């Protein structure tokens, strides 16, 4: 017999091979399915996102143009389209997969800006632009105008609720966009995001200005009680940080929107050597006690709120009267505000918007030999010019906007609550608090009016890292003494002044305030290594150096600035307004190293 297998009993049961394989790969399959669903969801959203983004950009441009043109009907039509495209854009950046992406490293740097952009545009369209579009007109965005020599203090009252809501929404959404960290974000996402942020910031500024005007006009225009203001006319021929010396102080009373001129006082008569206003330690160290003693030096500082406080205290000390505010303007701004008005003949001068600055800062000194004669002329001219401005015949509105943008029209309020509101607008002249502004200022040391002949040119090159952040800047300042004649032919008051420097020589202290997060690495003067004095002004770094020029000479100052913290957009530039507009050019390059 052959061998037979031994009976060992029943064979143990084992799971089927296919079943074992399924359970072992099920987790992997689930992950793959989830990833595929995740990818498909993003691909689907991407198709819609691209279309919505194109519509959003087009609709946003139409809305911006409508606001710029103050066209309420175009704004209404544009807002409807913008709301729809914003809704589609926001919808294409929403859902569980977007939430997950926003919380996933690296992916979040692409997803979060897109989500924020969608949410902000939707909120702005609904809560800011829609209320503005519902208004009968957009006149609220314009400076109030004179009618029959008066500004209605309540002219903006019908617009006030809409402006308040729109300003609050735009300010909040602009801050949210500005706070977004774009480190590691693709250029295709970062660039349009930055452009959007800048456009919203510009719109927010426009609406905030109108909101502040609506809130402050009734009180500041004397609707409840007459207001008394000091109007300071700066003379840019003798530079100071905010423009020029305070040549004259004019008292203006405003009662229910109607303005009348009061006393005309040469600024030097307010000099107080005995008990000048108190300065901070930084102010006294950087600018000296002259800033408090002499009204002409009160604006050594680029902080106009401090200048307003000092001039107000000097006025009270001399007159016993308390001013409700200080308004500063220069001849260039007055010329802009008088554009379109017929020429006025004053003491033999035919003055219009085009030549007003030249007459006030140059020609008058040749015609009138002594300071007393010049002061008398300025007093007569001020009265005539003021009457023309309040008549409503000149292009005052466009001139006001242009003057504010150029830093040539500044306002300080004695009331703390009013000043807090003003501080949110450009007219307040609050520089030190503008962290992202680069300031270049000039304080004359000649004591003459030769600064009228000095021209300013600024060339800025912004250096960007490969990730789009700012690596630094090269800032080139060229000062040119353009007087070509014989210095002996100039009036003594122009060429010599106080006699502190040789005739015709121009001396000035140049102050450079880098933006917060940016430092000065090097300075060259006409190509050679330069020295400067470094200091700190109320938390802001400041560098000073002295410049001396004879007629026909020019000098080039070049600073290398390096960012030591993340900055995604180039800083704004704030300059001392001169007798003529400065020549400013801006360029950029890429450092090419990620993160630099």
Q: Quick one: average pLDDT of 205-225?
A: 95
Helix (H, G, I), strand (E, B) or coil at 91: helix
pLDDT at 508 over 80: yes
pLDDT band at 323 (very low <50, low <70, confident <90, very high): very high
DSSP letter for each residue of 217-253: HHHHTTSSS-EEEEEEEEEEEEEETTEEEEEEEEEEE
pLDDT band at 19 (very low <50, low <70, confident <90, very high): very low
Q: Quick one: average pLDDT of 406-413?
A: 97
Residue 507 pairs with which residues in a beta bridge? 548
Higher-pLDDT residue of 100, 575: 575
Q: With the CA atoms of 343, 344, 348 and 354 taken in that order, what torsion angle do they form, in degrees rounded to the nearest 10?
A: -40
Helix (H, G, I), strand (E, B) or coil at 533: strand
Compute the distance between CA of residue 552 and CA of residue 506 in angstroms, rounded to an integer.
11
Burial of 401 (0-12, 13-18, 19+ CB in 10 A): middle
- pLDDT at position 437 is 95
Helix (H) or strand (E) holding 509: strand 506-513
The answer to which of 163-172, 497-506, 555-564 has the lowest mean pLDDT is 497-506
- pLDDT at position 80 is 87
- pLDDT at position 84 is 85
- pLDDT at position 189 is 79
- pLDDT at position 50 is 63
Q: Quick one: average pLDDT of 58-63?
A: 84
The answer to which of 47-51, 101-105, 388-392, 500-504 has the lowest mean pLDDT is 47-51
Helix (H) or strand (E) holding 478: strand 470-481
- pLDDT at position 20 is 45
Sheet holding 518-525, edge to edge: 528-529, 518-525, 554-563, 470-481, 454-464, 583-590
Compute the distance between CA of residue 359 and CA of residue 346 in angstroms, rounded to an integer.
11
Q: With the CA atoms of 154, 158, 161 and 166 taken in that order, what torsion angle do they form, in degrees rounded to the nearest 10?
A: -100
The end-to-end CA distance of the chain, in Å, is 90
- pLDDT at position 252 is 94
Give the residue from 473, 412, 411 showing the smallest Cα distance to 440: 473
Compute the distance between CA of residue 335 and CA of residue 353 in angstroms, rounded to an integer.
4
pLDDT band at 78 (very low <50, low <70, confident <90, very high): confident
Q: Quick one: average pLDDT of 304-326?
A: 97
Q: Quick one: average pLDDT of 414-418?
A: 97
Helix (H, G, I), strand (E, B) or coil at 591: coil
Supply the pTM of this predicted model: 0.88
Q: Are 412 and 552 in contact (CB under 8 A)?
A: no
Q: Which residues, 6+ apart, have CB-to-CB distance to 124 below 8 Å?
A: 86, 169, 170, 173, 200
CA distances from 315 to 208, 257, 291, 454 (A): 31, 23, 15, 31
pLDDT at 30 over 50: no
pLDDT at 367 over 60: yes
- pLDDT at position 596 is 65
Q: With the CA atoms of 191, 193, 197 and 199 taken in that order, what torsion angle do they form, in degrees rounded to the nearest 10?
A: 70
pLDDT at 431 over 90: yes
pLDDT at 311 over 80: yes
- pLDDT at position 6 is 47
What structural domains and CATH numbers belong to the chain? 25-220 (no CATH), 227-413 (3.40.630), 434-590 (2.60.40)
- pLDDT at position 284 is 97
CA distances from 248 to 264, 325, 516, 534 (A): 7, 16, 35, 33
Q: How many residues does the chain have?
A: 596
Residue 344 pairs with which residues in a beta bridge? 351
pLDDT, the chain, mean: 87
Q: Quick one: average pLDDT of 171-194?
A: 87
- Sign of the four-CA dihedral 192, 196, 201, 206: positive
DSSP letter for each residue of 299-360: TSSS-HHHHHHHHHHHHHHHHS---SEEEEE-HHHHHHHTTTSPPEEETTEEE-TTTHHHII
Angle at 580 between CA 426 and CA 333, to 5 degrees: 45
Burial of 139 (0-12, 13-18, 19+ CB in 10 A): middle
pLDDT at 258 over 90: yes
């Amino acid at each position: 017999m052959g061998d037979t297998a031994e009976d060992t009993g029943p064979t143990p049961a084992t799971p089927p091979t296919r079943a074992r394989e399924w359970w072992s790969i099920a987790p992997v399959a689930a992950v793959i399915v989830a990833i595929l669903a995740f990818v498909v969801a993003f691909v689907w959203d991407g198709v819609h996102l691209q279309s919505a983004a194109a519509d959003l950009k087009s609709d946003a441009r139409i809305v911006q143009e409508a606001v710029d043109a103050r066209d309420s009907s175009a704004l209404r039509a544009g807002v409807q389209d913008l709301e729809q495209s914003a809704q589609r854009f926001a919808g294409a950046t929403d859902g569980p997969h977007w939430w997950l992406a926003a919380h996933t490293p690296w992916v979040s740097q692409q997803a979060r800006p897109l989500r924020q952009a969608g949410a902000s545009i939707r909120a702005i369209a609904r809560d800011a632009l829609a209320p503005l579009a519902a208004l009968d007109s957009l006149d609220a965005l314009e400076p109030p105008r004179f009618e029959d020599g008066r500004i209605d203090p309540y002219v903006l009252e019908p617009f006030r609720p809409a402006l308040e809501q729109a300003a609050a929404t735009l300010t909040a959404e602009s801050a949210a966009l500005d706070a977004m960290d774009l480190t590691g974000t693709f250029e295709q996402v970062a660039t349009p995001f930055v452009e959007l942020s800048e456009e919203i910031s510009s719109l927010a500024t426009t609406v905030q200005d109108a909101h502040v005007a609506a809130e402050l006009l009734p009180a500041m225009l004397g609707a409840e009680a007459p207001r008394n203001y000091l109007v300071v006319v700066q003379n840019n021929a003798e530079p100071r940080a905010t423009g020029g010396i305070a040549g004259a102080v004019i008292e203006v009373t405003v009662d229910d929107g109607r303005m009348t001129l009061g006393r005309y006082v040469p600024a030097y008569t307010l000099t107080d050597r005995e008990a000048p206003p108190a300065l901070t330690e930084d102010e006294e160290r950087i600018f000296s006690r002259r800033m408090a003693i002499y009204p002409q030096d009160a604006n050594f500082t680029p902080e106009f709120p401090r200048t307003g406080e000092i001039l107000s205290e000097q006025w009270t000390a001399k007159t016993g009267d308390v001013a409700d505010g200080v308004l500063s303007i220069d001849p260039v701004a007055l010329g802009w505000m008088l554009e379109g008005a017929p020429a006025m003949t004053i003491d033999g001068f035919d003055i219009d918007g085009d030549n007003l600055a030249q007459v006030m800062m140059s020609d008058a000194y040749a015609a009138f030999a002594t300071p007393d004669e010049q002061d008398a002329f300025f007093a007569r001219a001020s009265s005539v010019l003021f009457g023309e401005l309040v008549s409503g015949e000149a292009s005052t509105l466009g001139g006001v906007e242009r003057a504010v943008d150029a830093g040539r029209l500044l306002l300080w309020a004695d009331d703390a609550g009013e000043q807090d509101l003003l501080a949110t607008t450009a007219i307040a002249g609050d520089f030190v608090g503008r962290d992202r502004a680069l300031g270049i200022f000039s304080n004359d040391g000649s004591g003459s009016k030769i600064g009228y002949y000095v021209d300013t040119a600024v060339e800025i090159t912004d250096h960007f890292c490969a990730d789009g952040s700012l690596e630094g800047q090269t800032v080139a300042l060229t000062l040119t003494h353009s007087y070509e004649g014989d210095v002996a032919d100039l009036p003594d008051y122009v060429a010599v002044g106080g006699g502190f420097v040789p005739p015709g020589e121009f001396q000035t202290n140049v102050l450079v305030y880098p933006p917060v997060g940016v430092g000065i690495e090097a300075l060259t003067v006409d190509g050679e290594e330069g020295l400067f004095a470094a200091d700190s002004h109320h938390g802001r770094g400041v560098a000073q150096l002295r410049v001396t020029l004879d007629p026909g000479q020019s000098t080039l100052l070049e600073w290398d600035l390096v960012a030591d913290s993340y900055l995604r957009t180039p800083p704004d530039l704030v300059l001392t307004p001169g007798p003529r507009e400065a020549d400013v050019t801006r360029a950029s390059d890429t450092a090419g190293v990620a993160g630099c």
